[in-house]
Chains A and B, each alone.
Chain A
């Protein structure tokens, strides 16, 4: 089955700096890659996703890149703000939709004011 590895497990940045989180996946059939943000005491919330027919996608301060050949994808957050502090999860699925996701282990992002 699919295995998703995520790095780093913790990341501390200064407000205004950029943050990058990286994930690798094992199943070449995976074609949908979402990123979820989980705040304390809440369920995960989708922040951006990308499908395998696209190499990059951007939404304001957030961008995701996908390298299918190398089987890795990354989340980039620019101009970080304290409210970006949370746990971020990457995930993958092979049905081109958000079904039966395999999640990475998570990255705790701390943005220091």
Chain B
């Protein structure tokens, strides 16, 4: 059983640019969440997708957007990058909305210069 995979693992962007991060959920999982983890802090909830629809959103501006595809893989897009967007972006999948455990990928480390 393949776990949650994310790409790219590391990337560097400059302020004002746009970035797309990708996530393949674990087999059989229809729910995907994205979290932002700044250095030395806990993950912060960005949004969640269930069956291709946004199902919940944290306190992030609209320049953070996402997609979930029919195979339940997902993308996180961030427009107009700011220095404070530098962080580890974690994708997590779960088999349903009522499941407890989230299965996290290893993350995409974004550096904004």
CA distance A36 to B45 in the complex (A): 15
Question: Chain B: which residue is nearest A105 at the CB level?
Answer: B42
Is the CB of B97 closer than 8 A to any CB of chain A? yes
* Most chain A beta-carbon contacts within 10 A, residue among B40, B43, B56, B98: B43
Is the CB of A14 closer than 8 A to any CB of chain B? no
Q: Are A99 and B97 in contact (CB under 8 A)?
A: yes
Is the CB of A74 closer than 8 A to any CB of chain B? no
Is the CB of A97 closer than 8 A to any CB of chain B? yes
Q: Tally chain B residues at the interface, Cβ within 8 Å.
A: 28
CA distance A44 to B90 in the complex (A): 9
Question: Chain A: which residue is nearest B42 at the CB level?
Answer: A103
Q: A43-B4, A43-B90, A105-B42 are in contact. Are A97 and B97 (CB under 8 A)?
A: yes
Q: Are B42 and A106 in contact (CB under 8 A)?
A: yes
Q: Are B43 and A99 in contact (CB under 8 A)?
A: no
Give the residues in chain A near B48, CB-CB below 8 Å: 99-100
Q: A1-B59, A43-B105 are in contact. Are A98 and B42 (CB under 8 A)?
A: no
Is the CB of A101 closer than 8 A to any CB of chain B? yes
Distance between B46 CB and nearest chain A CB, rounded to angstroms: 10
Question: Chain A: which residue is nearest B40 at the CB level?
Answer: A106
Give the residues in chain A near B31, CB-CB below 8 Å: 99
Give the residues in chain B near A106, CB-CB below 8 Å: 40-42
Is the CB of A46 closer than 8 A to any CB of chain B? yes
